[in-house]
Structure 1
Amino acid sequence: MLKEPLFHFVVLGFLLFLAGRSYQTRTDIYRIEVTPAHVAQLSRSYALQFGTPPDPATLEQLIETDLHDEMLFRQGRALKLDQDDEIVRRRVVQKEQFLMQNLHAPAEPTDAQLQAYYAAHADHYAAPSRAAFSHIFFAVGPDGDAAAQARAKAVLAKIPAGVTRAPERGDAFPDLYDFSAFEPEQVERLFGHTDFSGAVFTAPAGRWSGPYRSAYGWHLLYVANRDAPTRPPLADVRDRVRSDDLQDAQDGANTAAFDQIAKRFTIVRADRKAAP
Protein backbone atom coordinates (compact mmCIF):
# COMPACT_ATOMS: atom_id res chain seq x y z
CA MET A 1 0.00 0.00 0.00
CA LEU A 2 2.93 2.32 0.68
CA LYS A 3 3.84 2.09 -2.99
CA GLU A 4 0.38 3.04 -4.25
CA PRO A 5 0.22 6.62 -5.71
CA LEU A 6 -3.41 6.88 -4.60
CA PHE A 7 -2.34 6.31 -0.98
CA HIS A 8 0.30 9.01 -1.30
CA PHE A 9 -2.32 11.37 -2.71
CA VAL A 10 -4.75 10.68 0.16
CA VAL A 11 -2.06 11.15 2.82
CA LEU A 12 -0.83 14.39 1.24
CA GLY A 13 -4.37 15.68 0.98
CA PHE A 14 -5.05 14.84 4.60
CA LEU A 15 -1.90 16.67 5.72
CA LEU A 16 -2.86 19.70 3.65
CA PHE A 17 -6.33 19.57 5.19
CA LEU A 18 -4.90 19.53 8.71
CA ALA A 19 -2.52 22.42 7.90
CA GLY A 20 -5.37 24.39 6.41
CA ARG A 21 -7.60 23.82 9.42
CA SER A 22 -4.76 24.79 11.74
CA TYR A 23 -4.09 27.98 9.81
CA GLN A 24 -7.80 28.78 9.67
CA THR A 25 -8.10 28.24 13.41
CA ARG A 26 -5.18 30.53 14.13
CA THR A 27 -6.29 33.25 11.70
CA ASP A 28 -10.08 32.98 12.08
CA ILE A 29 -11.34 36.49 12.70
CA TYR A 30 -14.11 35.04 14.88
CA ARG A 31 -11.74 33.10 17.16
CA ILE A 32 -10.52 35.08 20.17
CA GLU A 33 -7.88 33.64 22.46
CA VAL A 34 -7.50 35.29 25.85
CA THR A 35 -3.83 34.72 26.67
CA PRO A 36 -2.16 35.17 30.07
CA ALA A 37 0.06 37.85 28.53
CA HIS A 38 -2.97 39.83 27.37
CA VAL A 39 -4.64 39.55 30.77
CA ALA A 40 -1.41 40.76 32.40
CA GLN A 41 -1.40 43.73 30.01
CA LEU A 42 -4.95 44.62 31.01
CA SER A 43 -3.94 44.43 34.66
CA ARG A 44 -0.88 46.65 34.12
CA SER A 45 -2.92 49.25 32.24
CA TYR A 46 -5.42 49.37 35.09
CA ALA A 47 -2.64 49.73 37.68
CA LEU A 48 -1.03 52.58 35.72
CA GLN A 49 -4.34 54.42 35.59
CA PHE A 50 -5.57 53.84 39.14
CA GLY A 51 -2.34 53.21 41.07
CA THR A 52 -3.25 49.71 42.25
CA PRO A 53 -3.73 46.30 40.55
CA PRO A 54 -7.35 45.21 39.94
CA ASP A 55 -8.99 42.71 42.30
CA PRO A 56 -10.23 39.43 40.75
CA ALA A 57 -13.75 40.73 40.15
CA THR A 58 -12.50 43.93 38.55
CA LEU A 59 -10.02 42.01 36.42
CA GLU A 60 -12.80 39.71 35.19
CA GLN A 61 -14.86 42.77 34.28
CA LEU A 62 -11.88 44.21 32.40
CA ILE A 63 -11.58 40.96 30.44
CA GLU A 64 -15.31 40.95 29.64
CA THR A 65 -15.15 44.57 28.46
CA ASP A 66 -12.07 43.84 26.38
CA LEU A 67 -13.78 40.83 24.78
CA HIS A 68 -16.84 42.95 24.06
CA ASP A 69 -14.72 45.59 22.32
CA GLU A 70 -12.64 42.98 20.47
CA MET A 71 -15.76 41.28 19.11
CA LEU A 72 -17.13 44.59 17.87
CA PHE A 73 -13.75 45.46 16.37
CA ARG A 74 -13.47 42.15 14.52
CA GLN A 75 -17.04 42.31 13.30
CA GLY A 76 -16.32 45.79 11.99
CA ARG A 77 -13.22 44.48 10.21
CA ALA A 78 -15.26 41.64 8.73
CA LEU A 79 -17.65 44.25 7.34
CA LYS A 80 -14.61 46.27 6.18
CA LEU A 81 -15.69 49.27 8.25
CA ASP A 82 -12.01 50.10 8.83
CA GLN A 83 -11.53 50.84 5.15
CA ASP A 84 -11.79 54.40 3.82
CA ASP A 85 -12.27 55.74 7.35
CA GLU A 86 -10.24 58.89 8.00
CA ILE A 87 -10.33 58.53 11.79
CA VAL A 88 -9.01 54.95 11.65
CA ARG A 89 -6.38 55.97 9.12
CA ARG A 90 -5.21 58.88 11.26
CA ARG A 91 -4.98 56.68 14.37
CA VAL A 92 -2.89 54.06 12.55
CA VAL A 93 -0.57 56.79 11.27
CA GLN A 94 -0.14 58.12 14.82
CA LYS A 95 0.66 54.66 16.16
CA GLU A 96 3.22 54.05 13.42
CA GLN A 97 4.88 57.40 14.15
CA PHE A 98 4.99 56.51 17.84
CA LEU A 99 6.50 53.13 16.98
CA MET A 100 9.22 54.78 14.90
CA GLN A 101 10.13 57.04 17.83
CA ASN A 102 10.42 54.04 20.15
CA LEU A 103 12.67 52.20 17.71
CA HIS A 104 14.91 55.17 16.92
CA ALA A 105 15.26 57.07 20.19
CA PRO A 106 18.33 59.37 20.04
CA ALA A 107 21.25 58.94 22.40
CA GLU A 108 21.84 61.43 25.22
CA PRO A 109 23.97 64.28 23.79
CA THR A 110 27.46 64.81 25.17
CA ASP A 111 28.70 68.13 26.53
CA ALA A 112 30.61 68.71 23.30
CA GLN A 113 27.50 68.05 21.23
CA LEU A 114 25.44 70.44 23.33
CA GLN A 115 28.10 73.13 22.96
CA ALA A 116 28.19 72.63 19.20
CA TYR A 117 24.39 72.71 18.97
CA TYR A 118 24.22 75.86 21.07
CA ALA A 119 26.85 77.57 18.92
CA ALA A 120 24.94 76.70 15.76
CA HIS A 121 21.60 77.96 17.14
CA ALA A 122 22.73 80.70 19.51
CA ASP A 123 20.28 83.27 18.15
CA HIS A 124 17.40 81.00 19.13
CA TYR A 125 18.32 81.34 22.81
CA ALA A 126 19.13 85.06 22.84
CA ALA A 127 16.96 87.24 25.06
CA PRO A 128 15.10 89.67 22.79
CA SER A 129 15.56 93.40 22.69
CA ARG A 130 13.49 95.41 25.18
CA ALA A 131 12.31 98.99 24.89
CA ALA A 132 10.82 101.64 27.17
CA PHE A 133 8.64 104.06 25.23
CA SER A 134 5.72 106.48 25.30
CA HIS A 135 3.31 107.45 22.55
CA ILE A 136 0.67 109.99 21.58
CA PHE A 137 -2.35 108.51 19.86
CA PHE A 138 -4.47 109.93 17.02
CA ALA A 139 -7.69 108.12 16.19
CA VAL A 140 -8.97 107.86 12.63
CA GLY A 141 -12.29 109.72 12.60
CA PRO A 142 -14.98 110.44 10.03
CA ASP A 143 -12.61 112.75 8.18
CA GLY A 144 -10.42 109.80 7.27
CA ASP A 145 -6.97 108.33 7.72
CA ALA A 146 -5.07 111.16 6.06
CA ALA A 147 -6.61 113.74 8.39
CA ALA A 148 -5.52 111.81 11.50
CA GLN A 149 -2.00 111.51 10.09
CA ALA A 150 -1.93 115.25 9.38
CA ARG A 151 -2.97 116.05 12.95
CA ALA A 152 -0.14 113.86 14.24
CA LYS A 153 2.41 115.66 12.08
CA ALA A 154 1.17 119.04 13.29
CA VAL A 155 1.55 117.98 16.94
CA LEU A 156 5.01 116.55 16.30
CA ALA A 157 6.20 119.90 14.97
CA LYS A 158 5.12 121.66 18.19
CA ILE A 159 6.37 119.31 20.90
CA PRO A 160 8.98 121.23 22.97
CA ALA A 161 12.41 119.78 23.53
CA GLY A 162 12.69 117.76 26.73
CA VAL A 163 9.08 116.53 26.70
CA THR A 164 9.08 112.74 27.03
CA ARG A 165 5.36 112.11 27.37
CA ALA A 166 2.33 114.14 26.26
CA PRO A 167 -0.76 111.93 25.91
CA GLU A 168 -3.03 114.96 26.33
CA ARG A 169 -1.88 116.30 22.95
CA GLY A 170 -3.64 113.42 21.16
CA ASP A 171 -6.79 111.33 21.55
CA ALA A 172 -7.81 108.89 24.26
CA PHE A 173 -6.14 105.50 23.90
CA PRO A 174 -7.79 102.29 25.19
CA ASP A 175 -4.59 101.04 26.82
CA LEU A 176 -1.41 102.46 28.40
CA TYR A 177 0.62 105.39 27.12
CA ASP A 178 3.90 104.41 28.81
CA PHE A 179 5.58 101.03 28.47
CA SER A 180 8.69 99.65 30.16
CA ALA A 181 10.90 96.73 29.09
CA PHE A 182 8.54 95.58 26.35
CA GLU A 183 9.75 92.86 23.97
CA PRO A 184 8.87 92.80 20.24
CA GLU A 185 6.32 90.03 20.75
CA GLN A 186 4.57 92.02 23.47
CA VAL A 187 4.45 95.15 21.32
CA GLU A 188 3.04 93.24 18.36
CA ARG A 189 0.47 91.55 20.57
CA LEU A 190 -0.87 94.97 21.56
CA PHE A 191 -0.36 97.08 18.42
CA GLY A 192 -0.35 94.40 15.72
CA HIS A 193 2.36 93.63 13.18
CA THR A 194 2.48 97.24 12.04
CA ASP A 195 4.82 100.13 11.29
CA PHE A 196 4.45 101.36 14.86
CA SER A 197 5.54 98.01 16.34
CA GLY A 198 8.63 98.00 14.15
CA ALA A 199 9.45 101.63 14.93
CA VAL A 200 9.62 100.86 18.67
CA PHE A 201 12.83 98.93 17.95
CA THR A 202 14.21 100.95 15.02
CA ALA A 203 13.30 104.62 15.59
CA PRO A 204 15.98 106.87 17.12
CA ALA A 205 15.89 106.96 20.92
CA GLY A 206 15.68 110.16 22.97
CA ARG A 207 13.37 112.13 20.69
CA TRP A 208 9.88 112.08 19.22
CA SER A 209 9.34 110.58 15.78
CA GLY A 210 6.49 109.51 13.55
CA PRO A 211 3.70 109.38 12.84
CA TYR A 212 3.50 105.60 12.61
CA ARG A 213 0.41 103.55 11.78
CA SER A 214 -0.83 100.80 14.11
CA ALA A 215 -3.93 98.63 14.25
CA TYR A 216 -5.62 101.44 16.21
CA GLY A 217 -4.64 104.54 14.27
CA TRP A 218 -1.62 106.90 14.16
CA HIS A 219 1.03 107.42 16.84
CA LEU A 220 3.90 109.69 17.70
CA LEU A 221 6.64 107.71 19.43
CA TYR A 222 9.23 108.53 22.07
CA VAL A 223 11.73 105.75 22.82
CA ALA A 224 13.35 106.42 26.19
CA ASN A 225 15.82 103.53 26.02
CA ARG A 226 16.33 100.24 24.30
CA ASP A 227 18.30 97.17 25.46
CA ALA A 228 20.08 95.15 22.82
CA PRO A 229 19.45 91.39 22.62
CA THR A 230 21.57 89.40 25.06
CA ARG A 231 22.93 85.90 24.60
CA PRO A 232 22.92 83.85 27.82
CA PRO A 233 25.71 81.36 28.58
CA LEU A 234 25.04 77.73 27.79
CA ALA A 235 24.79 76.88 31.49
CA ASP A 236 21.70 79.11 31.83
CA VAL A 237 19.80 77.46 28.98
CA ARG A 238 21.29 73.97 29.08
CA ASP A 239 17.96 72.20 29.61
CA ARG A 240 16.40 73.97 26.63
CA VAL A 241 19.41 73.22 24.43
CA ARG A 242 19.37 69.55 25.45
CA SER A 243 15.64 69.26 24.74
CA ASP A 244 15.98 70.94 21.34
CA ASP A 245 19.00 68.84 20.41
CA LEU A 246 17.19 65.61 21.28
CA GLN A 247 14.10 66.73 19.38
CA ASP A 248 16.14 67.55 16.27
CA ALA A 249 17.89 64.18 16.53
CA GLN A 250 14.53 62.42 16.92
CA ASP A 251 13.11 64.27 13.92
CA GLY A 252 16.13 63.25 11.85
CA ALA A 253 15.80 59.63 12.93
CA ASN A 254 12.09 59.66 12.13
CA THR A 255 12.80 61.05 8.68
CA ALA A 256 15.43 58.39 8.02
CA ALA A 257 13.08 55.63 9.23
CA PHE A 258 10.30 56.91 7.02
CA ASP A 259 12.66 57.06 4.03
CA GLN A 260 13.41 53.37 4.56
CA ILE A 261 9.69 52.59 4.63
CA ALA A 262 9.07 54.73 1.56
CA LYS A 263 11.59 52.69 -0.47
CA ARG A 264 9.23 49.70 -0.29
CA PHE A 265 6.47 51.55 -2.10
CA THR A 266 5.88 52.28 -5.75
CA ILE A 267 3.96 55.50 -6.24
CA VAL A 268 1.86 55.79 -9.38
CA ARG A 269 0.50 59.32 -9.89
CA ALA A 270 -2.51 58.63 -12.05
CA ASP A 271 -3.74 62.13 -11.23
CA ARG A 272 -0.88 63.67 -13.17
CA LYS A 273 -1.61 63.78 -16.85
CA ALA A 274 1.24 63.57 -19.28
CA ALA A 275 2.22 66.89 -20.80
CA PRO A 276 0.87 67.31 -24.36
Structure 2
Amino acid sequence: MQILKQPLFHFILIGVAIFAWFAWVSPQQDVAEETDTITVDGNDVALLKTRFQNSWNRPPTEDELQALVDGAIREEVLVREARKLGLDQGDQVIRARLAQKMDFLTDAIAASIEPEPEVLQTFLNENPERFTKPAQIAFDQIYLNENAELDAIENAIEAANTQQDWSSIGSTTLLPKSMPLTVVRAVDANFGTGFSAALNSLEPGNWSGPVRSAYGIHVVRVTDKQDPILPKLEDIRDTVLLEWRREAGSDLAQAQYESLASNYQVETPDMGKTVE
Protein backbone atom coordinates (compact mmCIF):
# COMPACT_ATOMS: atom_id res chain seq x y z
CA MET A 1 0.00 0.00 0.00
CA GLN A 2 1.38 3.39 -0.99
CA ILE A 3 1.57 5.61 2.06
CA LEU A 4 0.44 8.72 0.21
CA LYS A 5 -2.67 7.15 -1.34
CA GLN A 6 -6.11 8.33 -0.30
CA PRO A 7 -7.54 8.17 2.30
CA LEU A 8 -4.57 7.04 4.39
CA PHE A 9 -2.59 10.23 3.83
CA HIS A 10 -5.40 12.27 5.39
CA PHE A 11 -5.30 10.13 8.49
CA ILE A 12 -1.55 10.50 8.74
CA LEU A 13 -2.17 14.23 8.91
CA ILE A 14 -4.81 13.61 11.58
CA GLY A 15 -2.31 11.47 13.46
CA VAL A 16 0.27 14.22 13.36
CA ALA A 17 -2.33 16.66 14.71
CA ILE A 18 -3.32 14.32 17.55
CA PHE A 19 0.27 13.72 18.62
CA ALA A 20 0.95 17.45 18.42
CA TRP A 21 -2.06 18.11 20.64
CA PHE A 22 -0.82 15.65 23.25
CA ALA A 23 2.62 17.25 23.13
CA TRP A 24 1.02 20.67 23.62
CA VAL A 25 -1.13 19.72 26.62
CA SER A 26 1.43 17.52 28.38
CA PRO A 27 3.56 20.41 29.72
CA GLN A 28 0.44 21.88 31.34
CA GLN A 29 -0.25 18.52 32.97
CA ASP A 30 3.31 18.43 34.28
CA VAL A 31 2.89 21.85 35.87
CA ALA A 32 -0.34 20.77 37.51
CA GLU A 33 1.34 17.73 39.00
CA GLU A 34 3.98 19.88 40.68
CA THR A 35 1.35 21.47 42.94
CA ASP A 36 0.02 20.00 46.18
CA THR A 37 -3.54 19.86 44.86
CA ILE A 38 -5.23 16.69 43.67
CA THR A 39 -8.54 17.39 41.97
CA VAL A 40 -11.16 14.73 41.28
CA ASP A 41 -13.87 16.35 39.19
CA GLY A 42 -17.19 15.21 37.77
CA ASN A 43 -15.58 13.79 34.64
CA ASP A 44 -13.26 11.64 36.73
CA VAL A 45 -16.17 10.29 38.76
CA ALA A 46 -18.17 9.60 35.60
CA LEU A 47 -15.22 7.64 34.17
CA LEU A 48 -14.93 5.58 37.36
CA LYS A 49 -18.66 4.83 37.25
CA THR A 50 -18.45 3.81 33.58
CA ARG A 51 -15.54 1.44 34.20
CA PHE A 52 -17.41 -0.15 37.11
CA GLN A 53 -20.57 -0.49 34.99
CA ASN A 54 -18.65 -2.17 32.18
CA SER A 55 -17.03 -4.63 34.58
CA TRP A 56 -20.05 -5.51 36.73
CA ASN A 57 -23.03 -4.69 34.49
CA ARG A 58 -24.52 -2.44 37.13
CA PRO A 59 -23.80 1.02 38.54
CA PRO A 60 -21.75 1.23 41.75
CA THR A 61 -23.40 1.81 45.09
CA GLU A 62 -22.60 4.98 47.01
CA ASP A 63 -20.04 3.15 49.15
CA GLU A 64 -18.49 1.46 46.12
CA LEU A 65 -18.22 4.78 44.29
CA GLN A 66 -16.54 6.37 47.29
CA ALA A 67 -14.10 3.46 47.40
CA LEU A 68 -13.34 4.00 43.71
CA VAL A 69 -12.66 7.69 44.30
CA ASP A 70 -10.47 6.90 47.32
CA GLY A 71 -8.55 4.38 45.23
CA ALA A 72 -8.01 6.89 42.45
CA ILE A 73 -6.71 9.47 44.93
CA ARG A 74 -4.39 6.90 46.52
CA GLU A 75 -3.04 5.96 43.10
CA GLU A 76 -2.43 9.62 42.20
CA VAL A 77 -0.60 10.28 45.47
CA LEU A 78 1.67 7.27 45.03
CA VAL A 79 2.35 8.05 41.36
CA ARG A 80 3.33 11.63 42.14
CA GLU A 81 5.60 10.62 44.99
CA ALA A 82 7.19 7.89 42.87
CA ARG A 83 7.94 10.44 40.17
CA LYS A 84 9.49 12.77 42.74
CA LEU A 85 11.78 9.93 43.74
CA GLY A 86 12.63 9.30 40.10
CA LEU A 87 11.23 5.77 40.21
CA ASP A 88 9.86 6.17 36.69
CA GLN A 89 13.35 6.75 35.30
CA GLY A 90 15.09 3.77 33.72
CA ASP A 91 12.15 1.43 34.41
CA GLN A 92 11.79 -0.79 31.35
CA VAL A 93 8.21 -1.73 32.21
CA ILE A 94 7.14 1.92 32.35
CA ARG A 95 9.05 2.75 29.18
CA ALA A 96 7.44 -0.16 27.34
CA ARG A 97 4.02 0.87 28.56
CA LEU A 98 4.48 4.45 27.40
CA ALA A 99 5.64 3.26 23.96
CA GLN A 100 2.63 0.95 23.84
CA LYS A 101 0.26 3.82 24.61
CA MET A 102 1.77 5.79 21.73
CA ASP A 103 1.06 2.81 19.48
CA PHE A 104 -2.50 2.70 20.82
CA LEU A 105 -3.01 6.27 19.61
CA THR A 106 -1.99 5.20 16.11
CA ASP A 107 -4.22 2.12 16.28
CA ALA A 108 -7.18 4.28 17.27
CA ILE A 109 -6.63 6.49 14.24
CA ALA A 110 -6.40 3.48 11.91
CA ALA A 111 -9.57 1.97 13.41
CA SER A 112 -11.48 5.13 12.55
CA ILE A 113 -10.67 4.95 8.85
CA GLU A 114 -13.69 4.23 6.64
CA PRO A 115 -12.32 3.73 3.12
CA GLU A 116 -14.36 4.04 -0.05
CA PRO A 117 -15.57 0.76 -1.64
CA GLU A 118 -13.14 1.14 -4.53
CA VAL A 119 -10.24 1.31 -2.08
CA LEU A 120 -11.27 -1.99 -0.51
CA GLN A 121 -11.84 -3.54 -3.93
CA THR A 122 -8.33 -2.55 -4.99
CA PHE A 123 -6.91 -3.99 -1.78
CA LEU A 124 -8.83 -7.24 -2.40
CA ASN A 125 -7.58 -7.44 -5.97
CA GLU A 126 -3.98 -6.83 -4.90
CA ASN A 127 -4.09 -9.43 -2.10
CA PRO A 128 -6.24 -12.32 -3.37
CA GLU A 129 -4.21 -14.91 -1.46
CA ARG A 130 -5.42 -13.45 1.85
CA PHE A 131 -9.09 -13.92 1.07
CA THR A 132 -9.33 -16.87 -1.31
CA LYS A 133 -11.34 -19.74 0.11
CA PRO A 134 -9.31 -22.96 -0.23
CA ALA A 135 -10.38 -25.92 -2.35
CA GLN A 136 -12.95 -28.22 -0.79
CA ILE A 137 -14.01 -31.79 -1.49
CA ALA A 138 -16.88 -34.04 -0.38
CA PHE A 139 -16.75 -37.83 -0.51
CA ASP A 140 -17.91 -41.20 0.78
CA GLN A 141 -15.39 -43.84 1.75
CA ILE A 142 -15.31 -47.54 2.51
CA TYR A 143 -12.40 -48.72 4.60
CA LEU A 144 -11.07 -52.19 3.78
CA ASN A 145 -7.91 -52.82 5.80
CA GLU A 146 -4.23 -52.08 5.84
CA ASN A 147 -3.29 -54.58 3.13
CA ALA A 148 -6.41 -55.26 1.08
CA GLU A 149 -5.90 -57.53 -1.94
CA LEU A 150 -6.92 -56.51 -5.44
CA ASP A 151 -9.86 -58.95 -5.47
CA ALA A 152 -11.23 -57.45 -2.24
CA ILE A 153 -10.91 -53.95 -3.67
CA GLU A 154 -12.73 -54.85 -6.89
CA ASN A 155 -15.47 -56.68 -5.00
CA ALA A 156 -16.00 -53.67 -2.72
CA ILE A 157 -16.26 -51.32 -5.71
CA GLU A 158 -18.76 -53.59 -7.45
CA ALA A 159 -20.85 -53.98 -4.31
CA ALA A 160 -20.86 -50.26 -3.63
CA ASN A 161 -21.97 -49.51 -7.19
CA THR A 162 -24.81 -52.06 -7.07
CA GLN A 163 -26.04 -51.83 -3.47
CA GLN A 164 -28.22 -48.96 -2.39
CA ASP A 165 -26.91 -49.23 1.17
CA TRP A 166 -23.14 -49.32 0.89
CA SER A 167 -22.44 -48.40 4.54
CA SER A 168 -22.16 -52.03 5.65
CA ILE A 169 -19.40 -52.84 3.15
CA GLY A 170 -15.83 -53.04 4.36
CA SER A 171 -14.20 -53.12 7.77
CA THR A 172 -15.21 -51.26 10.91
CA THR A 173 -13.41 -47.96 11.50
CA LEU A 174 -13.84 -44.79 13.49
CA LEU A 175 -13.16 -42.73 10.38
CA PRO A 176 -16.23 -40.89 9.02
CA LYS A 177 -17.93 -42.76 6.20
CA SER A 178 -19.00 -39.51 4.55
CA MET A 179 -17.45 -36.07 4.50
CA PRO A 180 -19.38 -32.99 3.37
CA LEU A 181 -17.56 -30.25 1.49
CA THR A 182 -14.39 -29.91 3.56
CA VAL A 183 -11.16 -27.98 3.03
CA VAL A 184 -8.40 -30.28 1.88
CA ARG A 185 -6.18 -29.64 4.88
CA ALA A 186 -8.96 -30.86 7.17
CA VAL A 187 -9.35 -33.99 5.03
CA ASP A 188 -5.64 -34.69 5.37
CA ALA A 189 -5.86 -34.03 9.10
CA ASN A 190 -8.39 -36.88 9.37
CA PHE A 191 -7.02 -39.34 6.81
CA GLY A 192 -3.34 -38.46 6.53
CA THR A 193 -1.22 -36.25 4.31
CA GLY A 194 -1.78 -36.84 0.61
CA PHE A 195 -5.25 -38.36 0.91
CA SER A 196 -6.98 -35.25 -0.46
CA ALA A 197 -4.57 -35.10 -3.40
CA ALA A 198 -5.49 -38.67 -4.33
CA LEU A 199 -9.20 -37.79 -4.15
CA ASN A 200 -8.71 -34.74 -6.33
CA SER A 201 -7.68 -36.95 -9.25
CA LEU A 202 -10.95 -38.94 -9.12
CA GLU A 203 -14.07 -38.20 -11.14
CA PRO A 204 -17.10 -37.38 -8.97
CA GLY A 205 -19.99 -39.83 -8.85
CA ASN A 206 -18.19 -43.17 -9.22
CA TRP A 207 -16.73 -45.54 -6.66
CA SER A 208 -13.08 -46.19 -7.32
CA GLY A 209 -9.89 -47.26 -5.64
CA PRO A 210 -7.63 -48.19 -4.13
CA VAL A 211 -6.94 -44.96 -2.27
CA ARG A 212 -4.42 -45.23 0.54
CA SER A 213 -4.70 -43.24 3.74
CA ALA A 214 -2.55 -43.26 6.85
CA TYR A 215 -4.71 -46.15 8.08
CA GLY A 216 -4.87 -48.42 5.06
CA ILE A 217 -6.84 -49.02 1.86
CA HIS A 218 -10.14 -47.38 0.94
CA VAL A 219 -12.52 -47.27 -1.97
CA VAL A 220 -13.94 -43.82 -2.43
CA ARG A 221 -16.74 -41.94 -4.17
CA VAL A 222 -16.20 -38.22 -4.63
CA THR A 223 -19.58 -36.48 -4.35
CA ASP A 224 -18.61 -32.84 -4.85
CA LYS A 225 -15.65 -30.59 -5.51
CA GLN A 226 -15.12 -26.87 -5.13
CA ASP A 227 -12.10 -25.11 -6.55
CA PRO A 228 -10.42 -22.26 -4.67
CA ILE A 229 -12.63 -19.20 -4.95
CA LEU A 230 -12.13 -15.50 -4.30
CA PRO A 231 -15.43 -14.20 -2.86
CA LYS A 232 -16.96 -10.91 -3.94
CA LEU A 233 -16.18 -7.88 -1.82
CA GLU A 234 -19.75 -7.53 -0.56
CA ASP A 235 -19.58 -11.08 0.85
CA ILE A 236 -16.39 -10.54 2.85
CA ARG A 237 -16.35 -6.78 3.33
CA ASP A 238 -15.79 -6.92 7.12
CA THR A 239 -12.82 -9.25 6.72
CA VAL A 240 -11.26 -7.13 3.97
CA LEU A 241 -11.85 -3.97 6.00
CA LEU A 242 -10.14 -5.50 9.04
CA GLU A 243 -7.10 -6.50 7.00
CA TRP A 244 -7.00 -3.12 5.26
CA ARG A 245 -7.09 -1.29 8.58
CA ARG A 246 -4.37 -3.54 9.98
CA GLU A 247 -2.09 -2.71 7.06
CA ALA A 248 -3.09 0.94 7.15
CA GLY A 249 -2.26 0.99 10.85
CA SER A 250 1.16 -0.51 10.16
CA ASP A 251 1.88 2.08 7.46
CA LEU A 252 0.55 4.86 9.64
CA ALA A 253 2.62 3.75 12.63
CA GLN A 254 5.80 3.72 10.56
CA ALA A 255 5.07 7.11 9.00
CA GLN A 256 4.21 8.54 12.40
CA TYR A 257 7.40 7.14 13.92
CA GLU A 258 9.52 8.60 11.13
CA SER A 259 7.83 11.97 11.61
CA LEU A 260 8.49 11.93 15.37
CA ALA A 261 12.03 10.59 15.00
CA SER A 262 12.90 13.42 12.63
CA ASN A 263 12.69 15.76 15.65
CA TYR A 264 15.70 14.07 17.25
CA GLN A 265 19.38 13.81 16.52
CA VAL A 266 20.23 10.18 17.15
CA GLU A 267 23.76 9.25 18.18
CA THR A 268 24.86 5.61 18.34
CA PRO A 269 28.21 3.99 19.13
CA ASP A 270 30.44 2.35 16.56
CA MET A 271 28.92 -1.15 16.57
CA GLY A 272 32.16 -2.66 15.29
CA LYS A 273 33.93 -1.51 18.44
CA THR A 274 31.17 -2.59 20.83
CA VAL A 275 31.46 -6.24 19.78
CA GLU A 276 35.22 -6.43 20.19
Deviation at 1:43, TM superposition (A): 1.8
Q: Closer, same or farther in 2 for the Cα pair 1:155/1:70, shift >3 Å?
A: farther
Structure of higher CA gyration radius: 1
Residue identity matched to 1:65: G
CA contact (8 A) 1:138 1:152 kept: no
Does residue 174 of the first structure (1) align with residue 174 of the second (2)?
yes
Aligned CA distance change for structure 1 residues 124 and 100 (closer, same or farther; 3 Å): closer
One-letter amino acid of the counterpart of residue 174, structure 2: P
Shift of residue 42 of structure 1? 1.9
User: Which shifted more, 41-50 or 203-212?
Assistant: 203-212
User: Which structure ranks higher in relative contact order (CA pairs < 8 Å, sequence separation ≥ 6)?
Assistant: 2
Report if the CA contact (8 A) 1:127-1:229 is conserved.
Answer: yes
Match of 1:33? Answer: 37
Residues 54 and 224 from structure 1, CA distance in 2 versus in 1: closer, same or farther, beyond 3 angstroms? closer
* 2:80 is the counterpart of 1:80: no
Letter in 2 for 1:119: N
* DSSP-derived class of the 1:222 partner: strand
- Asked if 1:45 corresponds to 2:47, the answer is yes
Q: What SS does the aligned partner of 2:148 have? A: helix
Aligned to 2:275, the other structure's residue is in SS state coil
- Coordinate RMSD, CA, aligned: 4.1
Equivalent runs, 1:86-235 vs 2, <5 Å: 86=93, 88-102=94-108, 107-137=113-143, 148=146, 150-151=147-148, 155-156=152-153, 158-161=155-158, 163=160, 170-191=170-191, 194-205=193-204, 206-214=206-214, 217-220=215-218, 221-235=220-234
Q: Is the 8 A contact 1:135 1:222 kept in 2?
A: yes
Q: 1:254–1:26: structure 2 CA closer, same or farther, 3 Å change rule?
A: closer
Aligned to 1:251: 250
Q: How does 1:258-273 map to 2 (within 5 A)?
A: 258-261=257-260, 264=264, 265-268=266-269, 269=271, 273=275
Q: Deviations over 1:75-114 (max 9, x none)?
A: 555373774555x455334312102224566642113212
Question: Which amino acid counterpart does residue 245 of structure 1 have in structure 2?
Answer: W
Contact 1:196 1:219 survives alignment (8 Å): no
Contact 1:131/1:183, CA 8 A, preserved across alignment: yes
The runs of 5 or more residues in structure 2 that have no matched partner are: 1-29
Give me the whole-angstrom Cα distance separating, in 1, the residues matched to 2:245 and 2:195. Answer: 38
The structure-2 alpha-carbon separation of the partners of 1:124 and 1:152, relative to structure 1 and needing over 3 Å to count, comes to: farther
Give the percent of matched residue pairs that are identical in Structure 1 and Structure 2.
Answer: 19
The 5 A counterparts of 1:54-69 are 61-69=67-75
Query: What is the identity, as a one-letter code, of the residue corresponding to 2:216?
Result: W
Find the aligned partners of 1:25 and 1:229 in 2 and give their Cα distance.
61
TM-score by length of 2: 0.62
Secondary structure at the counterpart of residue 151 of structure 1: coil
Distance 1:179 1:47, change over 3 A: same
CA deviations over 1:176-204 (Å, ceiling 9, x no partner) = 21112222354245346x12244344555
Aligned letter for 1:129?
Answer: A
Q: How many residues align?
A: 234
